[in-house]
Chain A
Amino acid sequence: MKILVIFAHPKMSESIVQVQMLGAIRNLEGVTIHDLYAAYPDFLIDVDHEQALLLEHDLVVLQHPFYWYSSPAIIKEWLDLVLEHNWAYGNLGTKLHGKFMMQAISTGGPEHFYNPKGKNRFEIRELLNPFNQTAYLCGMAYLEPFAIFVGRRIPETDLVQRVENYRDLIIGLRDGKIAPLGNIALNYSLPGNFALKKA
């Protein structure tokens, strides 16, 4: 499976977790890393180029820090522009049918914040629902998100462990050792047009 990592971090020089996650999957064969802030510092996204990239890959990983219960701004801009009507969705929009989407995020707060009794009141899974639904509308399978919690305060050994997990996950998906359909997000049911395209 060919993997496209859509990466976004607006301040790489201060990144702790994302920079390591990125380093762990850099230069892997079959894994294309696309740093949106580096490619489009002026936000002038080349839609044709992005769509061509999407067509070349099977799994799209949105890798980014979890800002304000969502992604950094450029990921939103990217979704807004690239997933065009009648390309990614709509009656004629079939181009992404049968592909996979996954999110790889890092959070500032610890895991226990993210539940109904915690400070953030919602589970990560719930907060990512807009992305989940985006994948659904585009006929894609949305995989279980990968998250590293407590960005800056994470103990070094834990971070190393989690980053390794991330690398293993990506390599496993790439090589088919991990079946993507066995890794579908908990609250997700495959859209009809996903299977349509697969068949």
Chain B
Amino acid sequence: MHLPDFLIGAFVYLAAAVIAAPIASRLGLGSVLGYLVAGILIGPAVLGLVGSEGQDVLHFAEFGVIVMLFLVGLELQPSKLWSLRKPILGLGGLQVLGTSASIALAAYFIGLDWKAAIAAGLILAMSSTAIVIQSLNERGQLKTFAGQSSFSVLLFQDIAIIPMLALLPLLAVQQSTAHESTSLIAELPAWAQTLSVLAAVAAIVLAGRYLMRPLFRFVAQSGIREIFVAFALLIVVGITLMMQFVGLSAALGTFLAGVVLAESEYRHELEMDLDPFKGLLLAVFFMAVGAGIDFNLLMANPLQILGLVLGFVILKLVVLYVIARIFRMKGPDSAHFAFSLAQGGEFAFVLISFCLGLGLLLATQAAVLVAIVAISMALAPLLFIANENFVQPLFARGGQIRDADVIDETARVIIAGHGRFGMTVGRMLQGKGYKTVVLDHDAEQIDALRKFGFKLFYGDASRVDLLEAAGARTAEVLVIAVDEREKISGIVATVKKHFPHLRIFSRVFDRVHAYELINAGVNDVYREVFSSSLDMGEDVLVALGQHPFEAHRAANTFKKFDEKVVREQARHAGDNDKMVDIVRSSRAELSRVLAGDRAVSPLGDDQAWEDNDGRS
């Protein structure tokens, strides 16, 4: 019996994915790194399970990137996209310009001729949309400021690829015959090309606006689920084909289509249906990148290649960081942004073969570039990890970035942490005329707030010497309002040991954290969203028709009760059986308490009068 190669290939890729991704996730490395390593392992360099077809697989799997951008677009309403215009054009434009220029310069000094150097600069300016978005998403960082900035830059790169493809041929010495364009309209005059591009974009927007809804309804009414999936795929494939026809980036086209459909009521259906395809195709894509790393080239001159990769990544890091700072991003955000984007991208492969065709690059130069891009992509997940574990703590610890301020004030109250939580407490105290000494370890926040007349000191409140300087010996109260769980516990331990007389009021994250602090001897603990959720519960009760006073009493009763239960549970933290008992009995008690179920209601029970009457 003869199995088709396709099935064997599919088996190898799927098996590698199933083994590698969970292991990498378990190790906290993220699935992307798992796939890349799996790719290297099954590739020609190690096991040789997959080989020459790697490039074809890569092309096939690039479709995953296209699906991903469609899904990203679905998450982004046009209004949100419009609000990103500044970072896209500003950050993105400066990034492409700055990175290409500095890499081109470096390449020129290494010895490339200026044309090849410019080509290399443009090629390496690209970052990997697939790796960056997948990694940010996995870490829940896509919506953060650094995440949004990274995304904006990636989007600009997608757009920038169009003029690059148009301009690179102008660089080429002789109009190459080897140049094969995927675009079917390349032979048309320039105005007609522009017109067809505009027409394609207009078609996407108009079809998304007016055609999709009736079509979706038609398909949805059939009730056949796989037809809906097929339709979703059809949209993406159709746009991809149309974009290639006019020579635009397919990723950009589907992204646009996603944005147009972001307001459609079928958005969630589309997301659900396409998500597995995106995931699998991306996995294959990452593995193909891993398998595609040319280890022969690497082994031939390992130092040279690794040196180039290192130089490339560092150069990119520096340029990105500088640009972020120019755009007034905070230090930690800038680092996050730089470390996210410091790798080569999948578009680089496209550009490399394009330049090779144009004769801008020699075959050996192209091979080296491919290796640099692929290896830097493999390193990208490691950069994410390095940023989280080694770079961000530098900003947090502070001592290494900036020395603690000299504190020239004493007060009865020390407030550690002046973010959302501490600021409210501080303003209340100051409003009532109490002086406070405020410590915070966010240098930029402090500088900003000082302009508003707040008196804050820079420093880490878990350091004994700093607490001492802040007047911990003479102060009466310490408010802990920093936003890191471990740091809170650390401050409590330090204070309990060195300044036991201080009464600690502490923000805690959740119930379990509350147990921990209560057991450490802190009775005044405040779960950070507890009060606002009670406020909301009260308002919802009112909205449902409950009298405001009864809703208010219910919220307060609930609060008192739950605070009591938390303290009781804290005594049994770790004893699961006992916990279950407490939870069970308290649930019953709570509904009794909230129902006002007492022998004699204290309020409004006029009947009590009459019962007396009956007896007398």
**A166 in contact (CB, < 8 A):** no
Q: Which residues from A are CB-within-8-Å of B597?
A: none
Q: Which residues from B are CB-within-8-Å of A121?
A: none
Tell me the complex Cα distance, A108–B606, Å.
Answer: 5
Instruction: Give the Cβ gap from A74 to chain B, nearest Cβ, in Å.
Output: 8
Q: Mark B575-616, 1 if CB is under 8 A from A, else 0.
A: 000000000000000000000000001011111111001001
Q: Which residues from A are CB-within-8-Å of B546?
A: 13
Instruction: Pick the residue among B549, B608, B613, B616 that contacts A37 (CB under 8 A).
Output: B549
Q: How many residues of B contact A (CB 8 A)?
A: 19
Tell me the complex Cα distance, A113–B552, Å.
Answer: 35
* B607 nearest in chain A by CB position: A152
A41 near B549 with CB under 8 A, answer yes
A108 near B547 with CB under 8 A, answer no
**A109 in contact (CB, < 8 A):** yes
* A17 nearest in chain B by CB position: B606
**B419 in contact (CB, < 8 A):** no
Q: Which residues from A are CB-within-8-Å of B553?
A: 41
Instruction: Pick the residue among B550, B605, B610 that contacts A12 (CB under 8 A).
Output: B550
Instruction: Give the Cβ gap from A57 to chain B, nearest Cβ, in Å.
Output: 23
* A14 nearest in chain B by CB position: B604
Tell me the complex Cα distance, A9–B550, Å.
Answer: 10
A153 near B601 with CB under 8 A, answer no
* B552 nearest in chain A by CB position: A41
Instruction: Give the Cβ gap from B507 to chain A, nearest Cβ, in Å.
Output: 23
Instruction: Pick the residue among B547, B552, B605, B613 that contacts A13 (CB under 8 A).
Output: B547
* B555 nearest in chain A by CB position: A41
**B548 in contact (CB, < 8 A):** yes
Instruction: Pick the residue among B549, B552, B601 that contacts A14 (CB under 8 A).
Output: B601
**B551 in contact (CB, < 8 A):** yes
Q: Which residues from B are CB-within-8-Å of A106?
A: 606
A42 near B604 with CB under 8 A, answer no
**A11 in contact (CB, < 8 A):** yes
Tell me the complex Cα distance, A42–B542, Å.
Answer: 14
The answer to whether A41 and B548 touch (CB under 8 A), given A109-B613, A119-B613, A119-B616, is: yes
Residue with the highest number of chain A CB atoms closer than 10 Å, among B548, B603, B607, B609: B609
Q: Which residues from A are CB-within-8-Å of B551?
A: 41
B552 near A151 with CB under 8 A, answer no
Instruction: Give the Cβ gap from A112 to chain B, nearest Cβ, in Å.
Output: 10
Instruction: Give the Cβ gap from A19 to chain B, nearest Cβ, in Å.
Output: 10
Instruction: Give the Cβ gap from B569 to chain A, nearest Cβ, in Å.
Output: 28
**A181 in contact (CB, < 8 A):** no
Instruction: Pick the residue among B547, B552, B605 that contacts A42 (CB under 8 A).
Output: B552
Instruction: Give the Cβ gap from A197 to chain B, nearest Cβ, in Å.
Output: 35
Tell me the complex Cα distance, A116–B456, Å.
Answer: 69
Judged by DSSP, the binding face of A is loop
* B604 nearest in chain A by CB position: A11
Instruction: Give the Cβ gap from A34 to chain B, nearest Cβ, in Å.
Output: 13
Q: Classify chain A's interface size.
A: 20 to 34
**A183 in contact (CB, < 8 A):** no
**A191 in contact (CB, < 8 A):** no
**A165 in contact (CB, < 8 A):** no
B549 near A15 with CB under 8 A, answer no
B504-558 at interface with A (beta carbon < 8 Å): 546-553
Q: Which residues from A are CB-within-8-Å of B547?
A: 11-13, 37-38
The answer to whether A152 and B610 touch (CB under 8 A), given A12-B550, A13-B547, is: yes
B610 near A13 with CB under 8 A, answer no
Tell me the complex Cα distance, A65–B609, Å.
Answer: 13
B552 near A108 with CB under 8 A, answer no
Q: Which residues from A are CB-within-8-Å of B616?
A: 119
Tell me the complex Cα distance, A41–B601, Å.
Answer: 19
Q: Which residues from B are CB-within-8-Å of A14?
A: 601, 603-605
Tell me the complex Cα distance, A39–B606, Å.
Answer: 24
A108 near B610 with CB under 8 A, answer yes
A30-84 at interface with B (beta carbon < 8 Å): 37-39, 41-42, 65
Instruction: Pick the residue among B552, B601, B604, B609 that contacts A15 (CB under 8 A).
Output: B604
A13 near B607 with CB under 8 A, answer no
Tell me the complex Cα distance, A151–B608, Å.
Answer: 11
Q: Which residues from A are CB-within-8-Å of B605?
A: 14
Q: Which residues from A are CB-within-8-Å of B601?
A: 11, 14
A109 near B609 with CB under 8 A, answer yes
Tell me the complex Cα distance, A10–B552, Å.
Answer: 11
Q: Which residues from B are CB-within-8-Å of A65?
A: 604, 606
Tell me the complex Cα distance, A93–B64, Å.
Answer: 79
A152 near B606 with CB under 8 A, answer yes
Tell me the complex Cα distance, A65–B610, Å.
Answer: 15
B609 near A37 with CB under 8 A, answer no
A11 near B603 with CB under 8 A, answer yes
Tell me the complex Cα distance, A96–B372, Å.
Answer: 87
Q: Which residues from B are CB-within-8-Å of A11?
A: 547, 550, 601, 603-604
Residue with the highest number of chain B CB atoms closer than 10 Å, among A11, A16, A37, A110: A11
B608 near A108 with CB under 8 A, answer yes
A10 near B606 with CB under 8 A, answer no
B604 near A9 with CB under 8 A, answer yes
Tell me the complex Cα distance, A11–B550, Å.
Answer: 7
Instruction: Give the Cβ gap from A60 to chain B, nearest Cβ, in Å.
Output: 21
Q: Which residues from B are CB-within-8-Å of A151?
A: 606, 609
Instruction: Give the Cβ gap from A100 to chain B, nearest Cβ, in Å.
Output: 27
Instruction: Give the Cβ gap from A105 to chain B, nearest Cβ, in Å.
Output: 12
Q: Which residues from B are CB-within-8-Å of A107?
A: 606
Q: Which residues from B are CB-within-8-Å of A41?
A: 548-549, 551-553
26 contacts between A and B (CB under 8 A): A9-B604, A10-B549, A11-B547, A11-B550, A11-B601, A11-B603, A12-B547, A13-B546, A13-B547, A14-B605, A37-B549, A38-B548, A38-B549, A41-B549, A41-B551, A41-B553, A65-B604, A106-B606, A108-B607, A108-B608, A108-B609, A109-B609, A150-B610, A151-B609, A152-B606, A152-B607
Q: Which residues of B contact A (CB under 8 A)?
A: 546-553, 601, 603-610, 613, 616
List the 9 closest A-B pairs by CB distance, nearest first. Answer: A41-B552, A108-B606, A108-B609, A37-B549, A151-B606, A11-B604, A12-B547, A38-B548, A11-B603
Known: A10-B603, A16-B606. 13 other contacts (CB 8 A): A10-B549, A11-B547, A11-B601, A14-B604, A14-B605, A37-B547, A37-B548, A38-B549, A39-B548, A41-B551, A41-B552, A42-B552, A109-B610
